[in-house]
Structure 1
Amino acid sequence: MSNLFPLHTSASAPAAAQPLLEAASQAFGFVPNLIAIMASSPALTEAYLALSAIFEQKTSLTPTERQVVLLAVSRYHACRYCVAAHSTIADMQGIPPAVVEAIRSDQPIADTRLEALRSMVNALLERRALLPDATLESFFSAGYTPAQLLDVLVGVAQKTLSNFTNHLAGTPLDEPMHARAWTPAERLPH
């Protein structure tokens, strides 16, 4: 079905998506395949890029914490594209490889604060944010605040948009991500 979701260029994209593709090209040095596919829907492209900017620039989470959120959501959703993309970004940002590998393999992170964050992301997704008090207390006892818990939701929303897009479209990895390709341990239902 991936032929339903073309990899757009500025020439083929709807007019409303063209400036978004240009902005992505300027930000990344190329148009990632995810954005090229999203361009079929200028609304989706704009929403994803806006959430990405908000998560990056306006939340109180550190760069490492943001990557933990984005990787954990992508791993939970078994998104090959986004796990490879955020593993690559984490490498570029100097995030310890052990942190990235723990998330990729769904194992605890040795750093207790980052593990509390990874566990919270998984709990939010598994329980649709219907969390018992003990789960919240564990997160807050690791030093996170209620505002940071809400900031995590911005990353969850951002990655849900991209993860689901990639599932629908079968987005091919961009060349820079090939070294960090990832396959989920379990197969998704068809």
Structure 2
Amino acid sequence: MARFTAVSADQASGATAEVFASIKQALGKVPNAYATLGTLAPEALKAMLAVDKVLAGGPLSKQDQETVKVTISELAGCDYCVAAHSMVGKLVGLSNDALHQIREGQSTGDARRDALVTFVRYLALNPGTLPQAQVDALLEAGYSGEEVVHIALAIAVITFTNVFNRINDTVVDFPKPQ
């Protein structure tokens, strides 16, 4: 059971109602994580959604964005985000096998995706400045400096939702990943 109470989209008012209306229009519903964030801090939810909009218009493919988000969520132990981004990953063309391999840090057979997973896992698991070899490996896999910035941005936004969902123990309203 979640630790914080969320208002339903139908009962929301003010800034919360506005952000819920835009989410409901885009997704058909307001997922539990968004509902709780929007109830408690609608401006924080708006900021998070604005970052996702920047990512959507950026150079990373949707598959790369979901690869980053699934990898970080798995490492953080955020069951909510693992489920949500595994579902979105499927919607953008990642197979169940690839998603499982991404979560486990195993080879997917796609050298570029594997370099991304390796980079993100190394960054998440090792404090301090990254060794040049880690950055070089990502660049050699074909990622640009601009894409590296967007990888960092994707990590930042998913880390926010991971942390909040872990604090809240948000009830998962997405299918469990296979």
TM-score, normalised to structure 1's length? 0.86
- Return the alpha-carbon distance in structure 2 between the equivalents of residues 75 and 127 of structure 1: 16
Instruction: Give 1:28's aligned amino acid.
Output: L
Cα distance in 2 for residues equivalent to 1:72 and 1:170: 19
Q: Which residue of structure 1 aligns with residue 169 of structure 2?
A: 170
Deviation (angstroms), 1:42:
1.3
Counterpart of 2:177 in structure 1: which amino acid? R
Q: Deviations over 1:30-72 (max 9, x none)?
A: 0000100101111211111111111112x20111111111111
1:19-168 pair list within 5 angstroms: 19-39=18-38, 40-57=40-57, 59-128=58-127, 130-168=129-167
Aligned length: 177
In structure 2, distance between residues paired with 1:18 and 1:132:
46
The percent of aligned pairs where both chains have the same amino acid is 27
**Inter-CA distance 151–128: structure 2 relative to 1 (3 Å threshold):** farther
CA distance in 1, matches of 2:84, 2:130: 29
Aligned-pair CA distance for 1:99: 1.6
Summarize deviations over 1:70-109 as a string: whole Å, max 9, x none: 1111111111001101111112222122221112223232
DSSP-derived class of the 1:143 partner: coil
- Conservation of the 8 A alpha-carbon contact between 1:79 and 1:166: yes
SS in 1 for 2:129: coil
Residues 1:19 and 1:107: Cα distance change in structure 2 (over 3 Å):
same
Structure 1: give runs of 5+ residues left out of the alignment: 182-190
| 1:73–1:156 contact (8 Å) kept in structure 2 | yes
| RMSD of equivalent CA atoms | 1.8
Residue 188 of structure 1 aligns with which residue? none
Measured in 1, the distance between the counterparts of 2:103 and 2:6 equals 27
Q: Is the 8 A contact 1:103 1:109 kept in 2?
A: yes
**In 1, are the aligned partners of 2:60 and 2:150 still within 8 Å (CA)?**
yes
Worse-matched range after superposition: 135-144 or 90-99? 90-99
> Does the 8 Å contact 2:115/2:137 carry over to 1?
yes
- Are 2:86 and 2:177, in contact at CA under 8 Å, matched by a contact in 1? yes
Q: Residue 9 of structure 2 contacts residue 30 of structure 2 at CA under 8 Å; is this kept in 1? A: no
Q: In structure 2, what residue type is equivalent to 1:180?
A: P
1:180 paired to 2:167? no
